[in-house]
Structure 1
Amino acid sequence: MSDITDMEIFARVVGAGSMSAAGREMGLSPAVISKRIRRLETRLGTRLLQRTTRQLALTEAGQGYYERVLGILASIEEAETFVTRRSTMARGTLKVSAPTSFGRLHIAPHLKRFIELHDDLQINLVLSDSFVDVVAEGYDLAIRIAELDDSSLVARRLAPVHRVLCAAPSYLESHGTPASIADLEDHVTLAAAQQIPWHLDGPKGEVVVRPSGPLSTNSSEVVREAVLSGLGVALRSTWDVGPDLAAGRLRIVLPNYRASDRVAVHAIYPTRRFVPAKVRLFIDFLADLYAPHPYWDEGLQDAVPEMEKEPARP
């Protein structure tokens, strides 16, 4: 505000004892400072300074104004310092939305370390498999595992997502291992309602599979437990079943068919401008945790030959 600027110029002139000295401090010419002081006096309707050839003297009104202006400027400086510190330090409450399984497996176990690094910060982690309205519902950021559409929100890619067809050894021993995508018609296939159909990239391009079986559910975690129990074949993300694949509790079937890699783990937030430190630091923390190669994919490169080798893209 120009009034605040004029106040500051006035206070600097009084403190320096002359317009020339104040001008040297602020990089302004005495003529500019004189003009700004006159403008302030005109707006206030009173003279603040008595000007002589040798010195400046405060009028009675100027003295009272100067004493009050010092308090105002000190308050402004305190307010700006408060905001600046908040923009560089993680403070307050960070409200985060994340998918239920991913949040439980790959965010919750690491919160202790993040909170210990930023002990002035509280985290409100809300787990849901529904897409929240980040702005309308007051979230600082959301973790989404999807192929993102164009949006006014800002997205940062944190990690690739690899989804593979898999089944438990007990199921394969009982029902045989499918040798072609057409063989899936003779097998129990498992999927949550929101994950139907499967769009798979294969040697001859994309194929679409509509899972069918004795289980209907809206829960991806139920599907995970069902495939582990030996009920059927499922399309699962390696972030979800990577340890089970590595330990042999699940086996990949039809390894030449995989879901599109356009799906990835993203952090989304409202704007690029003035990103709060708590948001920036948490996103950086997750990016460092998952990149360049997600820990959940360790040991799976041989099983998934086309697994992405490059670091996750921003």
Structure 2
Amino acid sequence: MDREYQLFAEVIERGSLAAAGRALNLSPAMVSKRIARLEERLGATLLHRTTRKLATTEAGQRFYERVVAILAASREAENLVAGIAGDPAGRLRITAPTSFGRLHVAPHLKPFLDRWPKLQVELDLSDAYVDLVAERTDLAIRVSAQVEGGLVGHRLAPNRRVLCASPGYLAEFGAPARLKDLSRHRLLAAEGQLPWRLQGRHGPVSVGGVSFLRTNSSEVVRELALAGLGIALRSTWDIGPDLRAGRLQAVLPDYPGAADVSIFAVHPAGSFVPAGVAQFIAHLRALYGPEPYWDRKLHKSAGS
């Protein structure tokens, strides 16, 4: 029964029979056959199928919500037994912001998996806030000021942010000397990132405006800054190598990003934390810490 439920959940989450089949190594015909068999057993139509679109019926949506809860409970039970029996084992599904995951999670997976070879890690990189329960995700890396309700947060590292621009941009437009000078400069930010929250000498300040170029990608903002299109507020974990190499320069250093933003590992609240989740949090904490390696490299560069 768990296999049927997993198949149905994959179809809904991936949006098509073919995509679910690829994830589970099944042909689209076999997926269709099993879904039809499930509908026959339940005596209800779960999906509306057309050549272009797949959607849940009202019964299908209610069934999906229950199926997600059942699969989560089943996975928790398996992880509990695995944790009691010995080393962490089974699936560990992780989501992280695109840039951070690529730069500071993926490169550190090998030593973690070498230590815990019974784990099967799935890493999903997305700048969207994933619903961990609905998406059956065990752990998320979040760069934020707070952890939303229903989740348990573990602070992994501070998130230092600086205003920066390329030498070419500063040569063409000049460097802002005061905060109010930003009003005559080109600002670069992804959707939802403005206004900027900064920390001034006398407390928090806010800088509003409109991005010179509209984008939904934080990675694109970095590339635009490197190309000389404007001033951006970026995390040092993202632009550390560019600052050290001089491809970007910090501006208005007395106004860093708000200090309340940190890097968290979060997981659904509950009495039981899977061993794989606990071990991965410990792995990242040991890697990052109060002064993460990307900031130590910057300090070393500044002192040399």
TM-score (normalizing by structure 1): 0.67
Which of 78, 83, 106 aligns to 1:86? It is 83
Q: Give the partner amino acid of 2:249.
A: R
Structure 1 residues 182-201: aligned runs within 5 Å: 182-201=180-199
Partner of 2:260: 262
Work out whether residues 82 and 89 of structure 2, in 8 Å CA contact, stay in contact via their aligned partners in 1.
Answer: no
Q: Give the partner amino acid of 1:156.
A: H
Which of 276, 287, 308 aligns to 2:285? It is 287
Unmatched tracts of structure 2, length 5 or more: 1-76
Q: Give the partner amino acid of 1:122.
A: Q
Give the structure with higher Rg (CA). 1
Q: Determine the C-alpha separation between the residues in 1 that align with 2:192 and 2:79.
A: 46
CA RMSD of superposed structures (Å): 2.3
Work out whether residues 154 and 268 of structure 1, in 8 Å CA contact, stay in contact via their aligned partners in 2.
Answer: yes
Structure 1 residues 58-97: aligned runs within 5 Å: 84-87=81-84, 88-97=86-95
Work out whether residues 191 and 223 of structure 1, in 8 Å CA contact, stay in contact via their aligned partners in 2.
Answer: yes
C-alpha displacement at 1:271, in angstroms? Answer: 3.0
Which of 231, 235, 239 aligns to 1:233? It is 231
Q: Determine the C-alpha separation between the residues in 2 that align with 1:117 and 1:234.
A: 39
Deviating more after overlay: 294-303 vs 159-168 = 294-303
Alpha-carbon distance change, 280 to 83 in structure 1, aligned in 2, over 3 angstroms: closer
Q: Determine the C-alpha separation between the residues in 2 that align with 1:154 and 1:83.
A: 18
Percent of paired sites with the same residue: 52
SS of alignment partner, residue 283 of structure 2? helix
Q: Give the partner amino acid of 2:186.
A: V
Structure 1 residues 165-180: aligned runs within 5 Å: 165-180=163-178
Work out whether residues 96 and 125 of structure 1, in 8 Å CA contact, stay in contact via their aligned partners in 2.
Answer: yes
Q: Which runs of 4+ in 1 moved over 6 A?
A: none
SS of alignment partner, residue 298 of structure 2? coil
SS of alignment partner, residue 157 of structure 2? strand
Work out whether residues 194 and 210 of structure 2, in 8 Å CA contact, stay in contact via their aligned partners in 1.
Answer: no
Partner of 1:120: 118
SS of alignment partner, residue 214 of structure 2? coil
Work out whether residues 134 and 270 of structure 1, in 8 Å CA contact, stay in contact via their aligned partners in 2.
Answer: yes
Q: Determine the C-alpha separation between the residues in 2 that align with 1:135 and 1:212.
A: 35
SS of alignment partner, residue 298 of structure 1? helix
Work out whether residues 94 and 124 of structure 1, in 8 Å CA contact, stay in contact via their aligned partners in 2.
Answer: yes
Work out whether residues 79 and 274 of structure 2, in 8 Å CA contact, stay in contact via their aligned partners in 1.
Answer: no
C-alpha displacement at 1:300, in angstroms? Answer: 3.0
Q: Does 1:151 align with 2:155?
A: no
Deviating more after overlay: 201-210 vs 245-254 = 201-210
Q: Does 1:161 align with 2:159?
A: yes
Partner of 1:242: 240
Q: Determine the C-alpha separation between the residues in 2 that align with 1:121 and 1:176.
A: 52
Q: Residue by residue, what CA displacement relative to the aligned partner does 1:15-35 show, whole Å, maximum 9, x if unpaired?
A: xxxxxxxxxxxxxxxxxxxxx
Q: Determine the C-alpha separation between the residues in 2 that align with 1:81 and 1:208.
A: 48
SS of alignment partner, residue 222 of structure 1? helix
Q: Determine the C-alpha separation between the residues in 2 that align with 1:224 and 1:82.
A: 39
Partner of 1:31: none
SS of alignment partner, residue 207 of structure 1? strand
Q: Give the partner amino acid of 1:86.
A: G
Q: Give the partner amino acid of 2:214.
A: S
Work out whether residues 199 and 259 of structure 2, in 8 Å CA contact, stay in contact via their aligned partners in 1.
Answer: no
Work out whether residues 190 and 211 of structure 1, in 8 Å CA contact, stay in contact via their aligned partners in 2.
Answer: no
C-alpha displacement at 1:154, in angstroms? Answer: 0.9
C-alpha displacement at 1:303, in angstroms? Answer: 9.3
Q: Determine the C-alpha separation between the residues in 1 that align with 2:229 and 2:121.
A: 38
Structure 1 residues 28-43: aligned runs within 5 Å: none
Which of 110, 125, 130 aligns to 2:128? It is 130
C-alpha displacement at 1:82, in angstroms? Answer: 9.5
Q: Give the partner amino acid of 2:267.
A: Y
C-alpha displacement at 1:109, in angstroms? Answer: 1.0
Q: Determine the C-alpha separation between the residues in 2 that align with 1:94 and 1:122.
A: 6
Unmatched tracts of structure 1, length 5 or more: 1-79, 305-314
Work out whether residues 191 and 211 of structure 1, in 8 Å CA contact, stay in contact via their aligned partners in 2.
Answer: no
Q: Give the partner amino acid of 1:196.
A: L
